[in-house]
Amino acid sequence: NNMEQGQQQVIYESNPIITATDIKVNVSMPEVAERAAATGADGVGLLRAEHMILGTGVHPSKILNEQGSEALVEVFIEGIKKVADAFYPRPVTYRTLDAPTDEFMGLEGGQDEPHEQNPMMGWRGIRRGLDQPEILSCELKAIKRLREDGYRNLNIMIPLVTNVDEIRKVKAIGKEVGLNMRTDIEFGIMVETPAAALIIDDIVKEGVDFVSFGTNDLTQYVIAIDRNNEFVAKYYMENHPAVLKLIEHVIKICRENDVKTSVCGQAGSRPAIVEKLVEWGITSISSNIDAVKTIRSVVARTEQKIILDSIRNAKK
C-alpha cells in the first residue's frame, strides 16, 4: 500500500546523535516532503496548508462552490498524504489553513478577498477558519479519511488562537465531521499571540495535547513589528526579552499540566534561542530543512550541559 511505499522511499540518514528533545522539521510544500524526511528529523512540527491551495491556482471558496466539498477535501488529502507517507510512522502536525487575504487574492476566484489595510492583523488564522467552517470542515474531513486509511501519524493544530472559545468551537466542528479531538487524534494550538500566551492557564484547562510557538507571529505582535513591513524589519527581534519571557512562562505552565510544547517559528532554527528553550524544558523543536542538523547538535550539546551541571551540583 501507499504507506509502505512511502517508508521505502524515505532514505534518511541514521542519527548518530541522540537527544531527549525531539528535533522536527517544518514543511511548507508537499513537494519537499522527501527532502525533509531525509534530514532524519523526528517528524514534522509544522505542515503548512497554504501551498496545497496555492498549488491548485484556485481559491478554496471557488473550488467549494463550483466543484463541491469533495473536491476540496481531495486537495487537502493529496497534499497531506505526500508528507504523511514520506514521514510514516514519524508524526506529522498538520496546521489548519492560515491564509491572510493578500496571499489568496491572486488565485482564480480570489478577486472577492477583502482588501485589508494590514492583513497580518486581519482576517486570517483560526478566526477566519471559524468564519468559514465549510472550508475548515473539509480539512478535518481530509485528516479523518487519512486516519481511517491508516495514517495514524497525523496530529492537528490551529493557528493564531486568541481565546478559549476558538478551541471549543474547533472541537465541536471536529465532532460534527466525526473526528474527536484528543481522543481520535492529538490536538494542539499555536501560541503565536500575546493573548494565547497570557491565558495559557485557561487554554490548558480547556484541554489541548500540545502547544507550538509560532515565533514569527508572536514576535510581530509582542513588539509591534509587521513582519511584512520592510521599513521596520531591522527592529524585528525573536530574542526580544518580552518574547522570551512569554515563551518561558508558557513552557512552565504547560510542564505543570502535562501539555507538550514545541516551537515551529524561525526561532526554532536559531541556536542561541534553541539553547534557552531546551533549558526551559521544551518537548520538541521544529526547524527549517537546512537547519535540522545544526539544531540537533545544538540540542545535544545543551542537554549534555544540563546533565553535567546537575552531576556537578550533586557533588557539591
Span interacting with ligand PEP, options 176-184, 210-218, 228-236, 290-298, rule CB under 6 A: 210-218
CB of 183 to ligand PEP, least distance (A): 27
Which residues in 252-311 contact ligand PEP (CB under 6 A)?
A: 264-265
Say which residues have a Cβ less than 8 Å from residue 314's Cβ, sequence separation at least 6.
Answer: none
- DSSP state for residue 154 in the 8-state scheme: E
Span interacting with ligand PEP, options 34-42, 215-223, 249-257, 271-279, rule CB under 6 A: 215-223
Q: Which residues are registered as beta bridge partners of 34?
A: none
CB of 315 to ligand PEP, least distance (A): 41
| Residue 46 interacting entry, from Mg ion, ligand PEP, none, C-beta within 5 to 8 Å by type | ligand PEP
Phi then psi for 120, rounded to 5 degrees? Answer: -65, -25
CB of 304 to Mg ion, least distance (A): 32
Q: Which is nearer to Mg ion, 34 or 217 (CB)?
A: 217
Residues near Mg ion (CB under 5 A), total: 3
- Residue 37 CB coordination number (10 Å): 27
Identify the residue among 48, 81, 171, 296 touching ligand PEP (CB under 6 A).
48
Q: How far apart are CA 80 and CA 194, in angstroms?
A: 29
Identify the residue among 7, 216, 257, 288 touching ligand PEP (CB under 6 A).
216
Contact predicate 284/262, CB 8 Å: yes
C-alpha closest to that of 282 among 264, 305, 304, 262: 262
CB of 288 to Mg ion, least distance (A): 14
CB of 312 to ligand PEP, least distance (A): 36
Check whether the bond before 89 is cis (ω within 30° of 0): yes
CB of 192 to Mg ion, least distance (A): 5
Contact predicate 124/99, CB 8 Å: yes
| Residue 56 interacting entry, from Mg ion, ligand PEP, none, C-beta within 5 to 8 Å by type | none
CB of 267 to ligand PEP, least distance (A): 8
Span interacting with ligand PEP, options 76-84, 86-94, 211-219, 298-306, rule CB under 6 A: 211-219
Q: Which is nearer to ligand PEP, 48 or 171 (CB)?
A: 48
Span interacting with Mg ion, options 2-10, 43-51, 215-223, 241-249, rule CB under 5 A: 215-223
Q: How far apart are CA 255 and CA 259, in angstroms?
A: 6
CA distances from 122 to 126, 127, 183, 217 (A): 11, 9, 32, 13
Site of grid cell 550541559: 305
Say which residues have a Cβ less than 8 Å from residue 126's Cβ, sequence separation at least 6.
Answer: 96, 98, 158, 159, 160, 161, 166, 170
Using CB under 5 A as the binding rule, whether residue 238 contacts Mg ion is answered as: no
| Residue 48 interacting entry, from ligand PEP, Mg ion, none, C-beta within 5 to 8 Å by type | ligand PEP
- DSSP state for residue 209 in the 8-state scheme: S
Q: How far apart are CA 264 and CA 278, in angstroms?
A: 14
Of all residues in the shown chain, the one whose CB is closest to ligand PEP is: 265
Contact predicate 80/143, CB 8 Å: yes
Which parts of this chain interact with Mg ion (CB under 5 A)?
Answer: 192, 214, 217
Question: Which spans of this chain sit near ligand PEP (rule: CB under 6 A)?
Answer: 46, 48, 98, 192, 214-217, 264-265
